[in-house]
Structure 1
Amino acid sequence: MSAEGTSSPRLAIRQFLHSLQSPARILVAISGGSDSTGLLLLLDEAVKAEPDLKISLCAATVDHALRAGSAEEAREVAALCASLGISHTIAIWQGEKPKAGIMAAAREARYGLLAEAADAFDADLIVTGHTLDDQRETLRMRGMRTEQISSGIADAVLFDRRFWIFRPLLFSTRADIRAFLKEQGVAWIDDPSNEDAKYERVRVRRQLAADPATETDIRAAWAERLALSSQAAEWLDRHFRLHGGLLGQVSVDGLRQDRAVLDYALGRLTAVFGGQPFVPGRAQMERLLSFATGGEPGRMTVGRVAFDLRRDGLYFTRESRGILPLVLRPGEAGVWDGRFLVCNGSAVNARIEASAGSSSLIPVLVTGIQPPRVGAVNDSTKQDESSAPNDLGALDSCDEHRNEGGEGTGLPKAAWKRAVASAPVFFVDGHPLSPETARSIHLTPYFAPFDRFLTRFDFIFADRLSAVFAMVPYAGLPLRSIDGKTI
């Protein structure tokens, strides 16, 4: 990323607005700091200058309630929005705050509250004021953890499968944004936590000020990531099969494909099947790739996933150890083991735990966003749809009468047994649910690395995987062009 690659804030905002599908309503996340205040004013100026774009604004301030004065700052932002005629709401992070990992917890809370505000305002998308300075800091922090080239902060992220979050100022500098605010005669709020050296980002910011490093060509890194996502999606179509929604299989030929594509695809499949938000680290992935491409049958575990290499390919499923139970009260929803979203629509408390090899299969209808069969799009056990049962448990049809090994279409018994052992079962007071209660509990697959935060770089792969699991597609980008190119 060179100085020539930066964008003036006004130009960046104008290009962003022209890239949007319209009409559109934008929720602006504004804290009162210079970046988000500049974002709001730049958008307001551009929207008023081009009414034919049919774009309107609303705004939200998240008060994390972590320090004295935050409530008053939120009221100052509300007053600014009122002076501009922009609808605004203050969302407060309620409840007890964690003593460790406060920044990550605050980020989760912030985006959740912004999504609620977007719902309330009937907004189509959310924008935040991340800048080139934030990008540089992120790249430096990630560079201290890995030698791999990072794609840094994404310019667009799908949150919770619901709202796209855009960062239109990601190639504009904080200095340029502050110059614009001074030109407008508008002040901003300086958050004292931005000077607190106990936070890694603050320390890195000071390092960068003292020692600016040669920068990554971030656009090239984005292009490479997008290409890998597309190639890995094609790899899924050709070389990956899903059995019963629980057991993955990669063909022998799939293990012989380009190593970079295999690295990308296997890393993300490991995260999905292991219920983890991140792919395994570099050392773990090197071990997995060496094992998968070595051709020597065997078993290994990486990222909570048990891998079984056989003559007909690589089988993998969630290992059955370390799966914690989840209890949901009536009306509650939660993610079990990072792999399934469970909604308890019954009138009783429901406990979800691993089958652990029990012959008692899952007595829960797969409803909601699921068609009758999990994995029906890419499933070696597929039957005629009209006779397909509507529960995961009934998919244990590739059972003991199937052959061990890969000569025919049968699945290895040991691999399938491990898959079933990792499946969810439901209980009330230690007893399996009745059929009536079971019909009120809805179970859908959950992709831990994608379903909360999905970057546009990974969208193609994630969307193709969603189809493999017979789930509805992810929400598409509300854009008519990217980087000036019509989509």
Structure 2
Amino acid sequence: MAVSGGGDSIALLHLAHEWAAAHGRSLAVLHVDHCLNPHSRVWHDRVRDMARRLGATFHSARWEGPWPDTGLPAAARAARHARLAEMARAVGARVILTGHTADDVAEGRWMQAQGSTLGQLRDWSPSPAWPEGRGLMLLRPLLGERRTDLRDWLKARGIDWIEDSTNVDLRYGRSRARLALAEGEQAPVPQQDRPAPSTGMTADEWGVVRARRETDPRTLAFGLVVAGGGVRPPRGDRLARLAARIAAGGNFTAGLAGARLIAATDGLMLVREAGDYRRRGEPVRDLIPGAEVVWDGRFALTVDEPGWRVTPLSGRAARLGRADRAIVAGLPAAARPSLPVLIRDDEAGPVLAQSRARVEALAACRLALGLGQVKHEADLKCRREWRTDGRAPIL
């Protein structure tokens, strides 16, 4: 679980410790030092010592910037989630507990009403970090509890916690929200921000996403992010225009969020926008034998031999071998340029990555997590991997 040292996370730490002891589960405490407070090292040590007293393992990471001139809370939040995900994956965890409460939900609603792009807190949701958080879920079991009640519970047991001075610093939206709600303002009821559960959106082992034309805009936005391998959803105005074109019934192609949408009579196909490589540069990664590399936010690759690097197929199809050309010919034309291929240091190749590496297509699992199709920790076995011969998928 993630433990900052504040009252909410300390309360959950003790509750989780009791639950883990009763159910024979191990507990790993993850702490992120943002290096923004002069007392952060003291907080680190206090969380470490408490974890050890409870018999939990302790793991920590630091965020040493660079810190932006604006949007610092959002940058810190993104860095925190990325580091929590990295630590969780390192210890073999699939679920991260966090101590968010009903007060956090109300404050988030107030901030959204003021124009914040914060998402709605849910009790069970995928890690927002990508690709670090792939296959990880966040569990927030205290969303029905009030902050004051948790502190009363800690006081009754003689348990101390840390008070962060930034919680009353009105330069930050969270602090302004706390003050406004304490003075009697009401948090508005939020609009639903979870993509609607949909069995009509699927992804195959090549990262091609397919959906019905009737797919709601929020789900479509998520599908575009998945197909494009990115994190940031498309702007509302651009998404609205795209949804209107789809609803009008015509067949067309359009690029958005790093993905290309092909609207046809029988449905929608979403693939990586190869033209994005020309604007931003091709994603080229050197591969180290035995070390998994996430490429283009869409595939995880592992090679056994040294000297390979991965790059898009775009502009290299004519140099593929006969067997690889046959595979590519059977795929949608729009999906071909963004396929991962391997090239050796001596410029030998290219070869389809699936022909020489262990390749996990991340789109199907990411869709399942983001569309609410994973209901329990036991369901987090959505890994698809291709055999090194490039033919039969292993489920």
Report the TM-score when normalising by structure 1: 0.63
DSSP-derived class of the 1:86 partner: coil
What's the secondary structure of 2:175's corresponding residue? helix
Please give the secondary structure, in 1, of the residue aligned with 2:38.
Answer: coil
How many Å separate the matches in 1 of 2:313 and 2:351?
Answer: 18
Q: Summarize deviations over 1:19-71 as a string: whole Å, max 9, x none.
A: xxxxxxxxx432221111111233445677xx4x5556453433344443323
Correspondence for 1:72 among 33, 42, 46:
42
Distance 1:202 1:428, change over 3 A: farther
CA contact (8 A) 2:229 2:297 kept: yes
Preserved contact between residue 241 and residue 248 of structure 1 (Cα < 8 Å): yes
C-alpha displacement of 1:155: 1.0
1:262-411 mapped onto 2 (5 Å cutoff): 262-323=216-277, 324-331=282-289, 332-350=291-309, 352-360=310-318, 394-398=326-330
With over 3 angstroms needed to count, the CA separation of the structure-2 counterparts of 1:302 and 1:176, relative to structure 1, is same
> What is the identity, as a one-letter code, of the residue corresponding to 1:326?
V
Determine if the alignment matches structure 1 residue 424 to structure 2 residue 383. Answer: no
Residue 345 of structure 1, CA deviation: 3.5
Query: Are positions 1:112 and 2:111 aligned together?
Result: no
Instruction: Report SS of the residue matched to 1:129.
Output: coil
Match of 1:457 among 350, 355, 372: 372
Give the Cα separation in 1 of the matches to 2:393 and 2:62.
32
**Residues 56-71 of structure 1: pairs in structure 2 closer than 5 A:** 57-71=27-41
Structure 2: distance between partners of 1:151 and 1:279:
12
Residue 370 of structure 1 is matched in structure 2 by none
Of 110, 122, 147, the residue aligned with 1:174 is 147
Report if the CA contact (8 A) 2:219-2:371 is conserved. Answer: no
Cα offset, 1:340, TM superposition = 1.9
User: What secondary structure sits across from 2:32 in the alignment?
Assistant: strand
Structure 2 residue aligned with 1:245: 206
- Distance in 1 between residues matched to 2:365 and 2:240, nearest whole Å: 20
For 2:179 and 2:146, the matched residues in 1 are separated by 16
Matched, 1:92 2:24: no
**Alpha carbons of structure 1 residues 166 and 247: separation in structure 2 relative to 1, 3 Å:** closer
Aligned match for 1:445, one of 361, 367, 391: 361
Residues in 2 aligned to 1:449 and 1:145: alpha-carbon distance in whole angstroms: 31
- Taking a change above 3 Å as real, the CA distance of residues 105 and 294 of structure 1, as seen in their structure-2 partners, is same
Deviating 4+ runs (over 6 angstroms):
434-438, 462-467, 469-473
- Give me the whole-angstrom Cα distance separating, in 1, the residues matched to 2:300 and 2:306: 18
Distance 1:305 1:346, change over 3 A: same
Give, in whole Å, the separation in 1 of the partners of 2:370 and 2:122: 6
Structure number with the bigger relative contact order (C-alpha 8 A, sep ≥ 6) is 1
User: 1:368 maps to what in 2?
Assistant: none
* 3-state secondary structure, aligned to 2:250: coil
Cα deviations across residues 268-320 of structure 1 (Å, max 9, x unaligned)? 32122122224423222221221122123333222222233345544442221
Question: Given the alignment, which residue of 123, 134, 137 partners 1:155?
Answer: 123
Report the equivalent of 2:77: 103
Structure 2 SS opposite 1:450: helix
Query: Is the Cα contact below 8 Å between 2:287 and 2:302 reproduced in 1?
Result: no
Report the secondary structure of 1:187's partner residue: coil
Q: Across the two proteins, how many residue pairs are aligned to each other?
A: 370
CA RMSD of aligned residues (A): 4.1
Q: Aligned residues: percent identity? A: 24
The answer to whether the 8 Å contact 2:341/2:352 transfers is no
Gap regions ≥5 residues in structure 2: 69-74, 128-132, 387-391
Aligned 8 A contact 2:251 2:264 in 1: yes
Bigger Cα displacement from structure 2, 69-78 vs 202-211: 202-211
Distance (whole Å) between structure 2 residues aligned to residue 449 and residue 210 of structure 1? 44
Partner residue in 2 for 1:476: none
The residue that corresponds to 2:389 in the other structure is none
Max Rg structure: 1
Structure 1 position 37 matched with structure 2 position 10:
yes
Q: Which runs of 5+ in 1 are unaligned?
A: 1-27, 364-388, 400-415, 474-487
